[in-house]
Structures are given as structure tokens and as C-alpha cells.
Amino acid sequence: MTATAPLNVIFGPSGAGKTTYANAFARREGAVALILDDWMARLFGPDIPQPVEFDWVMERVSRCEALMWSVAAGVIASGRPVIMDLGLLRVSDRDRVRMIAEATELALQFHYVTADPEVRRARVEARNKIQGESFALEVTPAMFDFVEGIFEPATEAELAGALVSESA
């Protein structure tokens, strides 16, 4: 039996506007927004080793995602839509989400949020300074460059079923 409330999953590169998009979507649609960066900042922010250790971070991302999936399933079962901002940097990450949704019979809608690299880098720098609604963790220039290097843009097949937002 397929759930009636949809699971909306946002993906895109760093600084594209995913969290801003998720929060606006949640307000507009009455959805519950689950933002990975918020969970990571609140649960592990003070403990992040310096310099940042990739394996340490990824192990905690896995923990957060597991808990977020559990919360999402409960919210969807209650009839409310969910929007998850997980980043999903690689095609394999998005394929994994698609498989989870199919296995649990969730109605999945991907949302691809992107912008030019220069715009995204400037946004991240401004977000670090202003620390407004979309700020969860400081993203250093080195972190931005690292994430930029592993991000895999949406494939043609992914875009065929996704809602696409090109933020300015």
C-alpha cells in the first residue's frame, strides 16, 4: 500500500539554496522539513574534530540519515508530507534514496536545486558571516572545494522526474 503523503527529497551542490528551498516548501505545503545540516550541527557540531575528518563526519551523517528516515516514515504515516534535505552529492546516493522509497512504497519526488558555482561560493561565504535561517555549520573554502569535487550533477534520467529550481 503506497503512502498518500509524499516524500520530497532535495539534492544539489553546496550553496545552491537547498535549505532555503526546503524551508519555503515546508511552509507553503504544510510539510515537515528534515534538514541534514541542522541535525548534524545540533547533534555533533561541537564535537567535529579539527581539521575535519571525512570518515568521522560520514559515520555521523549515516546515523543522522537513519534517524531522519525513521522520523519521515512516522510523519508520512500520519498523512503529512515530508521534505528531506540530504545533499545527496553522488548519483549512487540518489539511487539509494530511490531504492529505499520503492522498498517502503513511499511516493517520492526529487527536487534538484542548483546555481552557478560562483554564486554558490558567494552564498556560502555570506551565510558563514550572516548566520541566518539557512546557517547550520560553517562551510570553509576548503570544505566547499572538497564537496564541489565530489558532487555529481543530476543525470538526464534524474532530471526527467525531478522538479528543478535554478536559483539566482
Band of residue 72 on the pLDDT scale cut at 50, 70, 90: very high
Domain map (residue ranges) of the chain: 7-166
pLDDT, tens digit (0-9, with 9 covering 90-100), for 81-121: 999 999 898 999 999 999 999 998 889 999 999 999 899 88
**pTM as predicted:** 0.84
pLDDT, tens digit (0-9, with 9 covering 90-100), for 81-90: 999 999 898 9
Beta pairing, strands 82-87 & 108-114? unpaired
Band of residue 168 on the pLDDT scale cut at 50, 70, 90: low
Region of 142 on the Ramachandran plot (φ > 0 left; ψ -120 to 50 alpha; else beta): alpha
Output the pLDDT for position 146.
83
The architecture CATH gives domain 7-166: 3-Layer(aba) Sandwich (3.40)
Average pLDDT taken over every residue of the chain: 87
Say which residues have a Cβ less than 8 Å from residue 86's Cβ, sequence separation at least 6: 9, 10, 11, 36, 65, 68, 93, 97
1 pLDDT exceeds 50? no
Output the pLDDT for position 58.
85
Q: DSSP per residue over 20-60, as a string?
A: HHHHHHHHHHTPEEEEHHHHHHHHHGGG--SS--HHHHHHH
Band of residue 67 on the pLDDT scale cut at 50, 70, 90: very high
DSSP alpha helices (H): ranges in the chain? 18-29, 36-44, 54-77, 91-103, 117-130, 141-150, 156-161
User: Cα(101)–Cα(149) distance, rounded to whole angstroms?
Assistant: 27
- 147 close to 89: Cβ distance less than 8 angstroms: yes
pLDDT, tens digit (0-9, with 9 covering 90-100), for 122-163: 988 888 787 776 676 777 777 778 888 889 999 999 998 888
The one-letter amino acid at 156? E
User: Cα(5)–Cα(154) distance, rounded to whole angstroms?
Assistant: 25
What phi and psi, each to the nearest 5 degrees, are found at residue 75? -65, -45
9 pLDDT exceeds 90? yes
12, 61, 152 from 87: Cα distances, Å: 6, 11, 11
User: Cα(47)–Cα(103) distance, rounded to whole angstroms?
Assistant: 34
- Please name the residue that has the C-alpha cell 543530476: 154
